[in-house]
Amino acid sequence: MHVPVLLNETIDGLNIHTGDVVFDGTVGDGGHSEAICKRYGRNVHLIMSDRDMNSLDTAKERLESLECKKMFYHGSFDEIKTILDKAGIKKIQRAMLDLGYSSTQLEFSGRGFSFGKQEPLLMNLDNPYNGGLTAKEIVNSWREEEIYELLKVYGEERFSGRIAKKIVEARRKKTIDTTADLVEIIESAIPFRKKINPATKTFQALRIAVNDELKKVEKAIDVIFESLSSGGRLAIISFHSLEDRIIKNKFKDLQKEGVGIVITKKPVAPTREEIKNNSRSRSAKLRIIEHA
């Protein structure tokens, strides 16, 4: 079962009150929502959504026996207005987003999220057969310059030029079909071993591009903030600098406009103990804003 990151810090920071409607826009395997249900019971109304139908099903099963009022919707967090319309709710009091990938998605989705697996190069959070963009399409059809730019901007990859060149060279010989194919190419492009797996930043860049993650985060902050009642709070956990920069700047702008109050002057990071128990939490950053 996936271990939720910054669990208590997030729930405490939301400062939930009796009767609050809480929106969990990235319910995943349900870890944060489960903890809220257990802590507040019938005093809270949870609305949960996720782009990944498999994750949504897992969350439903996990929360089935808990007493809190709960509603589940298949959809992206930036579609909150549509989700709230379906739920018959105009305003919410609390909202949270965990922008990381769950252990289940990384290890068992079969969609190529993990560079440690031999899987098809898909990387879609949505239904992988809906005809959308895939990582396979990017590495096999985009121009070298486009792949270079993608890895440089979204992956902040130091060796983006070398990797892009190797990808284009490799695909001339045969189609790049699997995660293992891509990892082998990346390893051949990087001249020495780094502390993190050499494929980490390339896979990050591809996931961001396939799922349009950065644009969705930017849009989501605006639409979720509009859906908050006065005094409502939004908490977001991010896992890389590109997301965190967007969140930081959007929160700062909302505060300058006089409509928001930034609760976390600096991002909340996991403790040493949490990192020791869950290594995937090491890059997590939590930021919280309150609607004025």
User: Which pLDDT belongs to residue 184?
Assistant: 96
DSSP assignment string, the chain = -PPPTTHHHHHHHHT--TT-EEEETT-TTSHHHHHHHHHHGGG-EEEEEES-HHHHHHHHHHHTT--SEEEEEES-GGGHHHHHHHHT-S-EEEEEEE-SPPHHHHHHSSSS--TTS--BS---SS-TTSS---HHHHHHHS-HHHHHHHHHHHS--TTHHHHHHHHHHHHHHS---BHHHHHHHHHHH-SS--SS-TTHHHHHHHHHHHHTHHHHHHHHHHHHHHHEEEEEEEEEEE-SHHHHHHHHHHHHHHHHTTSEEES-SS-B---HHHHHH-GGGTT-EEEEEEE-
Instruction: Judge whether 143 lies within some domain.
Output: yes
Q: Say if residue 204's pLDDT is above 90.
A: yes
**Is the domain of 20 the same as that of 32?**
yes
pLDDT band at 292; cut points 50, 70, 90:
very high
User: Which pLDDT belongs to residue 1?
Assistant: 59
Q: Say if residue 127's pLDDT is above 70.
A: no
**Is the domain of 201 the same as that of 272?**
no
pLDDT, tens digit, 9 for 90 and up, residues 23-72: 999 999 999 999 999 999 999 999 999 999 989 999 999 999 999 999 99
Higher-confidence position of 279 and 291: 291
Instruction: Judge whether 57 lies within some domain.
Output: yes
Q: Say if residue 129's pLDDT is above 90.
A: no
211, 246, 275 - which closes a domain: 211
User: Which pLDDT belongs to residue 101?
Assistant: 86
The share of the chain scoring above pLDDT 70, in percent, equals: 97
**Is the domain of 231 the same as that of 204?**
no
Based on the structure, what is the number of domains in the chain? 2
CATH of the domain at 171: 1.10.150.170
Span 233-242, average pLDDT: 97
pLDDT, tens digit, 9 for 90 and up, residues 144-200: 999 999 999 999 999 999 999 999 999 999 999 999 999 999 999 997 777 788 999
Span 259-277, average pLDDT: 97
Q: Say if residue 220's pLDDT is above 90.
A: yes
pLDDT band at 107; cut points 50, 70, 90:
confident
CATH of the domain at 235: 3.40.50.150
Structural domain harbouring 17: 7-104+213-291
The answer to whether the pTM exceeds 0.85 is yes
